């Protein structure tokens, strides 16, 4: 048996092993040394789960729970993730596939990936840069961003700050039809591409984490939160020193109202939403018309009959009715009975999830928490990192599946997992 030759180590050999490695910086983005120092925790984030952990240390616990939590026992919240994690791939080999294109066509427009950023309320509470930072990150990656009715910047402000972005507008139908009509008109005049009407918020879900942590809108200094001020002074200074937190929909009141005032919340809970009202909204819009919050095939068929361009299969991220069906499972039921274009959200935290969503029949996947973790962890840079991780993993998964294009994804890429006794 031959043994390797050995020699007496020299001091220089130890020095070479212990030399610190300089982080690699691409030509695309070369931040200053001070910016690199601040971004070091982001550099160590390799997954959305890592961004979630960093976000939990960057913002007060009550704010983190507002994003991270779900309704009641959070069964739907967890079933959304379980539905994706239970899927198994069936890859092809010997295909000579060394790269894959994630480019997708969504409602007539091209995006760099079949990925949409969902609407999120109170965004500037998570980071002072708020919706503008998210829209910038989405635009730089060639993705669509959806502005919420309960956003903290107006449609006009978002368009002025990110004029080259692709924007959709999400409408929570209020009980005041004149407000609904004006919101739709403002979004149309601001150049938003599509109108998304959310239909699953007749009342608000009961979020126990928020109740137990004493969460308030806007955040207030209480006995429970005082300790968080000491532990997270950077977040508090960031929020206090920026513009006052305010929902732009509050401008429709003659007197200033709080972000969670009973008057505002009562306005936002429209329990009389029906097909005729949707048809009214559709008649007031000139572009793609989308309905969000669909889980049943018969509801999808009714919307197809009135000419809705697409639906978003969603259980509101597990934040409304607990113990409802996982969004991915609902998507499969709907696609068996209805051919309407479907976007799916809920539980998507990896590029593998995006591939599974498209293979299961969705035309796009939609993320909320995944980019919000990035926002809390590092502002615009954190959102950009979240999007980059998701796009890169989508491409890598497709290559390993032996596919070169998003259009090649089909149910044949998945196999039903074997149950073990």
Q: Which residues are catalytic?
A: 316
The two counts, helices (H) then strands (E), for the chain are: 17, 12
372-388 as b/e, with b when 16 or more CB fall inside 10 Å? bbbbbbbbbbbbbbbbe
Dihedral class, residue 96 (left if φ above 0, else alpha if ψ from -120 to 50, else beta): left
Q: In terms of DSSP bridges, do strands 104-106 and 109-111 run parallel, antiparallel, or are they unpaired?
A: antiparallel
C-alpha–C-alpha distance, residues 144 and 159, integer Å: 13
C-alpha–C-alpha distance, residues 282 and 293, integer Å: 17
Q: In terms of DSSP bridges, do strands 88-89 and 364-367 run parallel, antiparallel, or are they unpaired?
A: unpaired
C-alpha–C-alpha distance, residues 239 and 200, integer Å: 31
Question: Do residues 182 and 41 lie in contact, with contact meaning Cβ atoms separated by under 8 Å?
Answer: no
Gap between the terminal Cα atoms of the chain? 48
Continuous H helices in 306-368: 327-337, 351-359
> How many Cβ atoms sit within 10 Å of the Cβ of residue 330?
23
CA 273 to chain centre: 25
Helix (H, G, I), strand (E, B) or coil at 313: strand
Question: Do residues 142 and 179 lie in contact, with contact meaning Cβ atoms separated by under 8 Å?
Answer: no
Angle between helices 327-337 and 75-85 (to 10 degrees): 70
Question: Do residues 156 and 186 lie in contact, with contact meaning Cβ atoms separated by under 8 Å?
Answer: yes
Strand partners, 358: none
At CA 201, angle to CA 343 and CA 374, rounded to 5?
55
C-alpha–C-alpha distance, residues 39 and 56, integer Å: 16
Token pair of 35 as six digits: 């910016």
Query: Alpha carbon of 129 to those of 37, 168, 259, 382: distances in Å?
Result: 20, 19, 18, 11
Strand partners, 158: none
């Amino acid at each position: 048996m031959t043994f390797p030759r050995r020699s007496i180590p020299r001091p220089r050999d130890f020095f070479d092993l212990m030399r610190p490695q300089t982080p690699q910086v691409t030509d695309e983005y070369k931040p200053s040394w001070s910016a690199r120092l601040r971004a070091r925790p982001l550099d160590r984030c390799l997954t959305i789960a890592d961004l979630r952990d960093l976000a939990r240390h960057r913002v007060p616990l009550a704010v983190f729970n507002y994003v991270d939590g779900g309704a009641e026992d959070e069964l739907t919240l967890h079933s959304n993730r379980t539905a994706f994690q239970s899927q198994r791939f069936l890859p092809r080999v010997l295909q000579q596939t060394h790269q894959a294109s994630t480019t997708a066509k969504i409602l007539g427009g091209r995006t760099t990936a079949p990925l949409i950023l969902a609407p999120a309320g109170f965004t500037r509470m998570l980071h002072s840069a708020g919706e503008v930072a998210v829209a910038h990150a989405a635009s730089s990656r060639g993705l669509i961003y959806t502005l919420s009715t309960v956003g903290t910047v107006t449609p006009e402000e978002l368009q002025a700050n990110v004029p080259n972005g692709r924007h959709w507008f999400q409408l929570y139908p209020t009980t005041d039809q004149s407000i609904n009509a004006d919101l739709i008109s403002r979004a149309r005049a601001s150049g938003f591409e599509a109108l998304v009407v959310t239909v699953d918020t007749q009342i608000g879900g009961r979020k126990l984490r928020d109740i137990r942590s004493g969460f308030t809108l806007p955040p207030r200094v209480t006995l429970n939160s005082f300790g968080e001020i000491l532990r997270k002074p950077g977040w508090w200074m960031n929020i206090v020193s920026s513009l006052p937190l305010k929902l732009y929909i509050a401008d429709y009141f003659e007197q200033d109202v709080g972000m969670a005032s009973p008057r505002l919340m009562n306005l936002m809970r429209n329990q009389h939403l029906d097909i005729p009202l949707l048809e009214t909204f559709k008649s007031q819009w000139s572009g793609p018309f989308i309905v969000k919050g669909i889980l049943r095939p018969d509801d999808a068929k009714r919307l197809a009959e009135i000419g809705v361009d697409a639906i978003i299969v969603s259980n509101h991220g597990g934040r409304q009715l607990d113990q409802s069906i996982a969004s991915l499972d609902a998507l499969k039921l709907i696609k068996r009975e209805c051919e309407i274009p479907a976007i799916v959200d809920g539980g998507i935290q990896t590029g593998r999830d995006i591939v599974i969503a498209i293979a299961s029949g969705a035309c796009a996947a939609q993320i909320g928490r995944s980019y919000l973790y990035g926002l809390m962890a590092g502002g615009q840079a954190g959102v950009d990192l979240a999007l980059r991780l998701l796009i890169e993993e989508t491409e890598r998964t497709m290559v390993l599946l032996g596919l070169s294009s998003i259009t090649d994804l089909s149910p044949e890429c998945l196999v039903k997992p074997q149950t073990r006794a």
